């Protein structure tokens, strides 16, 4: 039997359209900055791709800046020079939600920063966040407020209240940066409807190539460059553009965009089947964020007493690729900072396993997966009982 790939939140298998687009772009000879015919052909490919990516995110093409990925996009945006046009304040503070990606929490460049708490369900504590924004605006009007709030969490799938926070940030004259990596292409993600000032996205989460992403700005937002040098990307990011990556990114977007709602409904039905199956064979299992709005493809579940590392190794041997809700560094698993922020007990948090579905997932995958999952969990519980 073929293996089951259930780790789409880590990376989604490349779509055939993206693979073909990368191959075609590799055959384009010119440097996009060259003025001869070959260079103009390369430039035309990039600008067409910019239009496509902008369309997915409700932005103008001129406000899309291609980067090496969302981590670079986050690092570029999250610096004290991020501002609205005409804002001359020299000091800035970053307020980052506790569940943000490591590229936000560790990759920003603000000397002054604070963490906004999550509720027990994995959603931002909205009351606390709004109160802190209002307090800062009243007490320190000379300081620009920058808020980092993701569209949806990569571990729990919990959708965050971006629009409500963005309204408060705008009233305070601040800027909101939204990491939309997990949401883009899976649920409607329009920078205008979200109210965000900056979006960051990554191609490989929606079936495009790895190593390409984008930073999307509202028209009145200015920022300092992270990578200086040439004038590429409208003088916002120096370096010769990754033409094959950009072409593949656009091809993946074009494949995803027409069916976002239908695909979300399909994945939600699969997710509900998986969760019902888990509840049937392991009623003691805990699905995190189960009672809040989540991405339709994401399940983070823990089985009391079973370490995630052991369960994931057993699933891998059984032909299933899943992942932990915790970060992985140098081959060593760490307890999830998201679950810590949700105040999940350590012994339960250390057992969190993430199942994330995607465009290659089918009804047959779920039918095959559930009995494998049940046998694996039952075997590990039995081993634990014998060892006790």
Positions marked active-site: 328
Q: What are phi and psi of 354, to 5 degrees?
A: -105, 130
Can you name the residues that pair with 261 across neighbouring β-strands? none
Q: Which of 223, 194, 208 is nearest to 69 (CA)?
A: 208
Place of tokens 């922020």: 341
Mutual orientation of helices 243-256 and 37-57 as an angle, nearest 10°?
40
Q: What is the DSSP string of 291-352?
A: TS-B-TTEEEEE-TT--HHHHHHHHHHTTEE-EESS-EETTEE---HHHHHTT--HHHHTTE
Smallest CA-to-CA distance from 243 within 14, 44, 75, 16 is with: 44
What DSSP designation does 63 have?
Answer: G
Measured between alpha carbons, how far is 256 from 297 in angstroms, rounded to an integer? 15
Q: How far apart are the first and last CA of the chain?
A: 34
CB neighbourhood size of 183 (10 A): 25
Going by their DSSP bridges, the two strands 64-67 and 213-217 should be labelled as antiparallel
C-alpha 194/C-alpha 343 separation (Å) is 28
Task: Name 146's bridge partners.
Answer: 94, 175
Sequence-separated (6 or more) residues with CB below 8 Å from residue 261: 188
């Amino acid at each position: 039997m073929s293996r089951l790939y259930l780790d789409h939140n880590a990376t989604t298998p490349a779509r055939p359209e993206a693979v073909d687009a990368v191959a075609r772009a590799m055959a384009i000879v010119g440097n996009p900055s060259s003025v001869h015919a070959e260079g103009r052909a390369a430039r035309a490919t990039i600008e067409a791709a910019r239009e496509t990516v902008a369309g997915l995110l409700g932005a103008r093409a001129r406000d899309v800046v291609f980067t090496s990925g969302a981590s670079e996009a986050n690092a570029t945006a999250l610096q004290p020079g991020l501002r609205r046009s005409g804002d001359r304040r020299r000091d800035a503070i970053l307020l980052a939600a506790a569940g943000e990606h490591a590229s936000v929490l560790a990759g920003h460049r603000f000397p002054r920063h604070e963490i906004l708490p999550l509720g027990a369900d994995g959603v931002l504590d909205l009351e606390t966040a709004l109160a802190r924004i209002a307090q800062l605006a009243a007490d320190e009007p000379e300081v620009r407020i920058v808020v980092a709030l993701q569209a949806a969490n990569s571990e729990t799938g919990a959708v965050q209240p971006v629009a409500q926070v963005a309204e408060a940030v705008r009233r305070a004259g601040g800027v909101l940066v939204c990491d939309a990596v997990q949401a883009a292409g899976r649920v409607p993600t329009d920078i205008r409807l979200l109210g965000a000032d900056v979006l960051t996205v990554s191609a490989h989460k929606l079936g495009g190539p790895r190593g390409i992403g984008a930073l999307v700005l509202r028209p009145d937002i200015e920022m300092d460059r992270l990578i200086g040098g040439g004038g590429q990307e409208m003088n916002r990011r120096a370096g010769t553009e990754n033409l094959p990556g950009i072409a593949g990114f656009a091809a993946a977007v074009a494949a995803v965009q027409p069916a976002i709602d239908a695909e979300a409904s399909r994945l939600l039905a699969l997710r509900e089947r998986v969760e019902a199956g888990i509840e049937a064979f392991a009623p003691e299992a805990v699905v995190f964020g189960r009672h809040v709005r989540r991405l339709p493809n994401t399940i983070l579940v823990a089985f009391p007493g079973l370490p995630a590392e052991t369960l994931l190794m057993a699933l891998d041997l059984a032909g299933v690729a899943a992942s932990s809700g915790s970060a992985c560094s140098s081959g060593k698993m760490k307890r999830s900072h998201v679950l810590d922020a949700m105040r999940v007990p350590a012994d339960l948090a250390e057992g969190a396993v993430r199942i994330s579905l995607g465009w290659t997932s089918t009804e047959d995958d779920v039918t095959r997966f559930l009995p494998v999952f049940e046998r694996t969990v039952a075997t590990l519980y039995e081993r634990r009982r014998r060892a006790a």
